[in-house]
Amino acid sequence: MTTRDTATWITEALHGSFRSSYRADRVLFDTETGQQRLVLVDNAIFGRMLSLDGVTQVTERDEFIYHEMLTHVPMLAHGQARSVLIIGGGDGGILREVLRHPDVEQATMVEIDAGVVDFSRQWLPTVSDGAFDDPRLNLVIADGAAFVRDTRDRFDVVIIDSTDPIGPGEVLFTDSFYGHVQRLLNPGGVVVTQNGVPFLQGDELAGTMRAFRALFQVATCYLVTVPTYVGGPMALGFGTDNTDLLNVTEAELAARLARLDFAPGYYSPAVHRAAFALPRYVEKLVEPD
């Protein structure tokens, strides 16, 4: 583990022919967890920034956008979720948003790397905001693909907060993984996935949608713009056999949101509905001609 006080530039090279750089005013951590390389830096715009294997995962400044949209769109569309499964999400942001829902009786979170959880609790406490201490949490340190293959539990909502399909996250983008997820959904349940930036990662979204079309009556995605996930809006996959989940009115979403007793920073019922209006280039990835 190294700590450096001298400002430097860190370049993210996820997209091959396109790179983005952030100034690290201070490198707080640079270490190997045993599963992946973890780096935490301070940036004047984004605050603390966590990267895994050179790819930005979460920042203090814009994490609320991603976490609110990946969580509240499926949760409020469903409206009666009691049991929720989170795959990944070791920083605790998705867990924080899930536990805002008073109807949730248990949130099972499966994270492959205990080091990410421990690190995030200590160094990014505002992201989880106490969620790891909630008695409704069932924290499982295990491989997410193995968990969904073997568990006998069933869930109303499954949220796949994975890294990109490299390293430990690669297995979470396979057809067999999605098939196991479909099996463990309760009737009327819904799964959502992190599917990257389709302008730069179109194959990632297309692969998930191919699997979803074989598994679900509704196989689509919705969009969210997160500043540090560069290259255009991010796609979040949405799979369910309950076609009614796409037709919940703004008024009903607003009524369900009011029960949570918090003011979102990004999510709103109008944004929820509009997020499913896809540009043509994304539509072609979701439903090829």
The residues annotated with a catalytic role in the active site are: 161
Q: How far apart (Å, rounded) are the C-alpha atoms in residues 218 and 252?
A: 20
What is the spatial distance between Cα 135 and Cα 111, in angstroms, rounded to a whole number? 18
Q: Is 271 helix (H, G, I), strand (E, B) or coil?
A: helix
For 141, how many CA atoms within 13 A lie in the half-sphere containing its CB?
Answer: 7
Q: Give CA–CA dist 206/283, Å, rounded.
A: 10
Length of the chain: 289
* Encoded tokens for 49: 């920034």
SS3 readout for 114-165: HHHHHHHHHHCHHHHCCHHHCCCEEEEECCHHHHHHHCCCCEEEEEEECCCC
